[in-house]
Structure 1
């Protein structure tokens, strides 16, 4: 009996020691990842046609783009951001490029993601475009905003400085892992510095295919679309149709609807987007709105386009875009 008691005591001591040893060797629980308030998003792309709200900004030619966007996450549900981007364009005033500067705030509330901010569109390097000749020398006349001018054979005019800004709001709702829907709203007191106010509103939808659609290839796919309306006011006198005419003080631009739908494929940081875009603007009203430098014809007469020249800058277009988008905190790790 005495030996049995001693054996039991030794067994208990050994078990306790083994348990203590095991507890010392057990891996510690991983510490929670530190909150990273700062991040930077950046990327670039090439597109077959730079379309903005249904209207080409590159004369239906390819365009390149790049952006840089520092972000500060106040909390996991509140982000502040500023950014800049640049796009190659082809405008009647021969501006060198479109340079955008913007900033805003992005709060999230569960499935709702909001975005509010200000967006500035800058067009450096432009020249005043006027259809009036002085001394028979193209470019020798004086425009209201510049003495540097270009003569356009189609009679269109465009200011040297068409820079402007918009205030905007966006809301996006994630229905589930596959579906997202959203609305957007943009307003400016002077679209393209024309003197005409502009208001753009749209609805959007996006379907993201299951991640295993293409097996383990890492390729993703989505389908997305947008329907929007661009409301426009009346320009200042620079864009008027001449003294004594109906619109001597400015042109009441035609408001229009625009829509697009497309399919995209993603792989790591790359996206290939193939899209169709269109508007309901007539060629005549499109000419009055865009001041296209290559408008042709005389039969596209509208109340705001008495000369009859027409432009295809607002019609149906197919768009192919290849882009790369990265963030410093995830893509570069």
Structure 2
């Protein structure tokens, strides 16, 4: 009897195995890979209490609004091509009221290093020629336009001060919290003055851990920059303009602009696509050298004499200032999904 029971059990196991072999097997089917879309668009806008560029106010220490639009093409996850345009409200001595930027470049990434190479164009439409006096030292009429537009403090400025720069940047991500960078900009004709310009700077940024503000979604960072602007000699427009205004001179070959250092440090707070940046900015340009460089139409004649500023007008456009900026930055591939 025992032998018969064992035989029956073996037969049942064999039949069960055969039945299982005939059943359909359920297999895991992986989802299809997400298609790689190389295109993206970054855009944003902001308002700032003072538009400062390399230590010099571009808005006469008054508020400025800005917006930008930047299409991007990601060749790979480590190589990006881009073009863009931006606009800022300004207040220049030639009465230009807007800066229009056009730029483009390439951003390769190698591990913790992110590079950025490109060209940046600064356009200033709507300007008017302002000269120190309607005639030169020989009494000859300079131009019909300049003859009717005279700045009382003797400063001069061309109608068109548009220019372009080539640039190279590198940013090194030290850790999740720290990053440092180097920047280099060069223009053969800075602000269309005829003088070359070279700007180099070093930057550092600390991003606080996301746990600092708990689950609020608020982020924080501290960042700073130290830079030096080297400048060449202007063309004769600015040199003879100073002489024609009745001051010491002349400078028939233009004036040598003073090189200077500039720095800024600030703290920022982020929430989703918004950022509030609070920053202190300053430079070591004297009031006289600042006036010669900027042609500040508000500069009073206060005895700020320098080798390149014989008229004595002194400008505060290059001094210490506090900057508050509120901005929103988005990308089509992430922010709008």
Aligned to 1:4: 9
Aligned to 2:237: 238
TM-score, normalised relative to structure 1: 0.92
Question: Tell me, what secondary structure is at the counterpart of 1:220?
Answer: strand
1:35 Cα deviation after fit: 1.4
CA distance in 1, matches of 2:249, 2:223: 45
Aligned to 2:155: 156
Task: Specify the structure having the higher radius of gyration (Cα).
Answer: 2
Aligned to 1:265: 269
CA distance in 2, matches of 1:289, 1:17: 89
1:82–1:103: 8 Å Cα contact kept in structure 2?
Answer: yes
1:171 Cα deviation after fit: 0.5
CA distance in 1, matches of 2:146, 2:250: 27
Cα 1:147–1:133, aligned 2, differ >3 Å: closer, same or farther? closer
- Let me know the Cα RMSD of the aligned residues: 1.8
2:134–2:142: 8 Å Cα contact kept in structure 1?
Answer: no
Structure 1 stretches of 5 or more lacking a match? 135-140
Would you identify which runs of 4 or more consecutive aligned residues in structure 1 move more than 4 Å?
Answer: 13-18, 146-149
Work out which of the residue numbers 304, 311, 323 in structure 1 matches 2:327: 323
1:16 Cα deviation after fit: 4.9
1:180–1:206: 8 Å Cα contact kept in structure 2?
Answer: yes
1:142 Cα deviation after fit: 4.5
TM-score, normalised relative to structure 2: 0.91
1:128–1:149: 8 Å Cα contact kept in structure 2?
Answer: no
1:39-118 equivalences in 2 (<5 Å):
39-118=40-119
The one-character-per-residue Cα deviations of 1:195-246 (angstroms, maximum 9, x if unpaired) are 0100000000001111121111111111100000000000001111327825
CA distance in 1, matches of 2:287, 2:228: 17
1:306 Cα deviation after fit: 1.1
Aligned length: 322
CA distance in 2, matches of 1:149, 1:57: 25
CA distance in 1, matches of 2:20, 2:325: 67
Aligned to 1:137: none
1:3 Cα deviation after fit: 1.7
